[in-house]
């Protein structure tokens, strides 16, 4: 016990003097296990598959808890806010990183990310999502931006070209719909983080909507937000049944089943639609820039050190080591070897293993939408609650249990003002 | 050891466990419900009955009360109806030799965890790829949006609940029917009573106690519907399948993190449940 305390004290005082690798060596054997909370994402499943490598390297046990996306968010928030500290490492994303930093629930990663893992190699668009006031709080392992995915076989057969603006998109979605065989469009309707608001946002922001007015007050019920909602609702007329309350999974699966002619989706789903084992449209999909003025919603998911879960310096060091290992260059390369498309590093983007995974027009589409990509959700700690309210009201509008778009957004505006005032 | 001491000794461990797992969390929830704690800010102030007052100005809470009531009525009555129907059909038309085999098949749905049952049915009811809609699609007809239609969603989820419990209770009632004295049934058959008359006037009145027990068990079980609804619809479309427990979860543990408000809702739910079940219990005891 005394030895442990001495080691901890010496580690704290020498943090700036020695390298993290030396730290990690000093901490070997001092930490019995690391608990990691993840969601079932291919990159994370891959990490869990290879965790024995890290266990052997650091002489500890890695316990992985895997949950669904929404459940992972809830569980990490409860664990952090109550100080339960059941996990040393959290899976965090663009939706909750601001809240976790404001709550002082995650540790600065700048201090604990191993130098050998090279934090400077992360793509700016992805690492910046976990950067608050100049401090990095997470190391991304995936993220992305939107592209237009369309059935090039159908487009060629009908002799039509990809839509370049929202008017053309709407007309094309209508003309391509031949229910119940094929639907012109697919999008998300269900509320919840990563669901309808994420896909509605590119229209809202693309039509000129902003989250706040010039005086900093909420601006959720703007005329641009109304126009975006009405446009989004029209698109549902050409989407598969069930889409109005559908999830991202419903959207992608309908496309993979060959039931959908077009959709905007995150580039990470490119590998999903080109997966020969699960997709019936392999080789039939074209990729293009987004119709104007739709913007591209950037996002990133990463790993962060839990403050409540790491009480000792060695636990923080080991959590940092695990994150460095899981998000390192070697790991990304291994993922590419196994056909897992998730990357977050500059070095991987030019890796032939990555560029050869997808068709050439996919890489062109990604390049084309890069300039119009940014984090479109409101990056404030209050976002989870405000975004949830907005998502609920949108779902009600989509499914017809509400009809007044302006009145509904006015309600969300009131909610946002009240909520921000309450937690000022 | 005196008899009373022995009884006390036996009771104390159960009381301690009960206090630890029921009373302590309940007191904690009551305490939370009078504060304004949230998962973002655990240091709350005491605000009296404000959370309870806010509830009655909250459209989602009022809606959740209504949906919970509909859910109880549909699932409890639906389960009882299916159970009685299945038991009579099997009692009347199945050969005794095969009943055990049929019973094993019929209790399989209840052996599925609700989450699994919810997921299986969610895929089966999918309008695009689900088995249930496949015949309509093959006939070039538009599929039915069982879970995305505000009018059908609650009924569709209730159907899965009734499918799980109705078949199970049907088997129980079948075996209870078999325990009834044969001479009464044979005498009725000699008098040429119709099958429905036999069960309506003779067998089921004799099983009244068991039916009341099944009713109460199912009514209590239906209050714990969170996992099935969450898996199948997450309370949607909109809030059309959002029951009280689901709403309390969404407010407390979900994205909102309003744990004091959620605690107030949970306490309200407990009070309403106690009042309703005490009333039902007294009514059934009286008869």
Backbone torsions φ then ψ of A93, nearest 5 degrees = -145, -175
- Sheet architecture: strand order including A33-39: A61-67, A33-39, A89-93, A299-305, A139-144
A416: contact with B, CB 8 A cutoff: no
Packed helices B153-179 and B208-222: angle between N→C axes, nearest 10 degrees: 150
Facing B145 at nearest CB: one of A78, A241, A259: A241
Facing A180 at nearest CB: one of B142, B233, B240: B142
Give CA–CA dist B152/A44, Å, rounded: 37
Give me the DSSP letters along B257-282.
--HHHHHHHHHHHHHHHHHHHHHHHH
Give CA–CA dist A413/B60, Å, rounded: 17
Which pairing describes strands A89-93 and A33-39: parallel, antiparallel, or unpaired? parallel
Q: Give tens-digit pLDDT for A356-386.
A: 878 889 989 988 998 899 889 998 989 989 9
B236:A257 CB<8 A:
no
pTM here is: 0.86
Mean pLDDT value across residues A238-256: 94
Tell me the average pLDDT of chain A.
Answer: 91
ipTM over 0.90: no
pLDDT, position A13: 40
Distance set, CA A146 to CA A11, A202, A267, A298, B38 (Å):
44, 9, 6, 7, 34
Q: Give tens-digit pLDDT for A298-353.
A: 999 999 999 999 999 999 999 999 999 999 999 999 999 888 888 899 888 888 88
**In this model, does residue A196 exceed pLDDT 90?**
yes
Distance set, CA A38 to CA A43, A88, A96, A207 (Å):
10, 11, 14, 35
CA distance B270 to chain A (A): 23
Contact A282/A276 with Cβ under 8 angstroms? yes
Mutate to test the interface with A, among B136, B147, B148 (most CBs of A within 10 A): B148
Mean pLDDT value across residues A1-24: 48
Q: Give tens-digit pLDDT for B114-172.
A: 999 999 999 999 998 899 999 999 998 989 999 999 999 999 999 999 999 999 999 99
Give CA–CA dist B140/A180, Å, rounded: 6
A278: contact with B, CB 8 A cutoff: no
Provide, as residue numbers in chain B, all residues whose Cβ is less than 8 Å from the Cβ of A191.
234, 236
A399 CB burial (10 A radius; 0-12, 13-18, 19+) = buried
Give CA–CA dist B235/B238, Å, rounded: 7
Count of CA atoms in the C-beta half-sphere (13 A) of B274: 6
Provide, as residue numbers in chain A, all residues whose Cβ is less than 8 Å from the Cβ of B137.
180
Q: Give tens-digit pLDDT for B180-225.
A: 998 888 898 888 889 889 999 999 999 999 999 999 999 999 998 8
**What dihedral do alpha carbons B208, B211, B217, B221 form, nearest 10°?**
-150
Give me the DSSP letters along A70-130.
HHHHHHHHHHHHTT----SEEEEETTTHHHHHHTT-B--HHHHS-GGG-GGGB-HHHHGGG
């Amino acid at each position: 016990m005394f030895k442990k305390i001495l080691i901890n004290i010496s580690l704290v005082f020498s943090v700036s003097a020695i390298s993290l690798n030396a730290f990690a060596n000093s901490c070997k054997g001092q930490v019995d296990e690391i608990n990691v909370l993840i969601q079932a994402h291919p990159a994370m499943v891959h990490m869990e598959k290879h965790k024995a490598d890290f266990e052997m390297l650091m002489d500890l046990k890695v316990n992985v808890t895997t949950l669904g996306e929404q459940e992972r968010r809830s569980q990490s928030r409860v664990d952090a806010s109550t100080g339960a500290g059941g996990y040393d490492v959290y899976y965090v994303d663009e939706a909750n990183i601001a809240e976790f930093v404001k709550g002082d629930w995650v540790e600065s990663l700048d201090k604990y990310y191993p130098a050998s893992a090279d934090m400077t190699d992360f793509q700016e668009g992805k690492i910046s999502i976990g950067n608050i006031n100049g401090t990095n709080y997470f190391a991304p392992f995936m993220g992305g931006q939107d592209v237009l995915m369309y059935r090039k076989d159908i487009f060629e057969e009908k002799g039509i070209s990809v839509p370049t603006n929202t008017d053309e998109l709407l007309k094309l979605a209508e003309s391509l719909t031949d229910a119940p065989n094929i639907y012109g469009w697919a999008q998300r309707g269900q509320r919840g983080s990563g669901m309808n608001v994420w896909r509605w946002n590119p229209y809202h922001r693309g039509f000129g909507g902003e989250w706040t007015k010039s005086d900093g007050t909420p601006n959720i019920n703007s005329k641009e937000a109304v126009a975006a909602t009405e446009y989004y609702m029209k698109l549902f007329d050409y989407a598969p049944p069930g889409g109005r309350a559908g999830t991202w999974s419903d959207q992608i699966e309908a496309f993979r089943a060959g039931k959908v002619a077009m959709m905007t989706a995150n580039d990470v789903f490119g590998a999903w639609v080109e997966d020969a084992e699960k997709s019936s449209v392999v080789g039939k999909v074209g990729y293009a820039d987004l119709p104007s003025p739709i913007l591209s919603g950037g996002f990133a998911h990463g790993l962060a050190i839990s403050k409540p879960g790491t009480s000792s310096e060695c636990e923080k060091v080991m959590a940092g080591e695990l994150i460095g290992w899981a998000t390192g260059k070697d790991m990304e390369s291994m993922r590419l070897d196994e056909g897992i498309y998730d990357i977050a590093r500059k070095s991987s983007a030019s890796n032939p293993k990555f560029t050869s995974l997808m068709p050439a027009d996919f890489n062109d589409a990604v390049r084309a939408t890069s300039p119009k990509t940014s984090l479109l959700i409101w990056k404030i700690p209050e976002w989870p609650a405000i975004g949830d309210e907005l998502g609920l009201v949108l779902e009600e509008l989509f499914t017809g249990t509400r009809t007044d778009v302006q009145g509904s957004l006015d309600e969300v505006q009131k909610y946002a003002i009240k909520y921000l005032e309450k937690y000022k | 050891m005196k008899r009373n001491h022995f009884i006390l000794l036996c009771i104390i461990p159960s009381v301690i466990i009960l206090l630890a797992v029921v009373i302590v969390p309940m007191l904690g929830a009551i305490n939370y419900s009078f504060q304004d704690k949230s998962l973002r800010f655990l240091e709350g102030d005491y605000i009296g009955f404000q959370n309870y007052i806010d509830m009655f100005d909250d459209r989602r809470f009022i809606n959740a009360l209504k949906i919970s009531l509909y859910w109880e009525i549909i699932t409890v009555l639906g389960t009882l109806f299916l159970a009685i129907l299945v038991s009579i059909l099997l009692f009347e038309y199945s050969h005794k030799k095969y009943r055990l085999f049929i019973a094993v098949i019929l209790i399989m749905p209840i052996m599925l965890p609700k989450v699994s049952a919810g997921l299986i049915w969610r895929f089966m009811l999918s309008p695009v790829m689900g088995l249930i809609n496949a015949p309509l699609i093959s006939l070039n007809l538009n599929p039915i949006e069982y879970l995305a239609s505000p009018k059908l969603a609650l009924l569709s989820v209730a159907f899965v609940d009734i499918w799980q419990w109705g078949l199970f209770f049907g088997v129980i009632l079948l075996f209870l029917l078999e325990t009834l004295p044969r001479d009464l049934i044979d005498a009725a058959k000699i008098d040429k009573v119709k099958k429905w008359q036999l069960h309506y006037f003779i067998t089921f009145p004799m099983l009244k106690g068991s039916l009341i027990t099944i009713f109460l068990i199912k009514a209590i079980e239906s209050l714990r519907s969170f996992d099935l609804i969450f898996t199948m619809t997450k309370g949607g479309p909109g809030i059309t399948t959002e029951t009280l427990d689901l709403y309390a979860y969404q407010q407390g543990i979900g994205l909102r993190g309003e744990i004091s408000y959620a605690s107030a809702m949970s306490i309200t739910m407990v009070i309403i449940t106690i009042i309703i079940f005490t009333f039902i219990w007294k009514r059934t005891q009286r008869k």
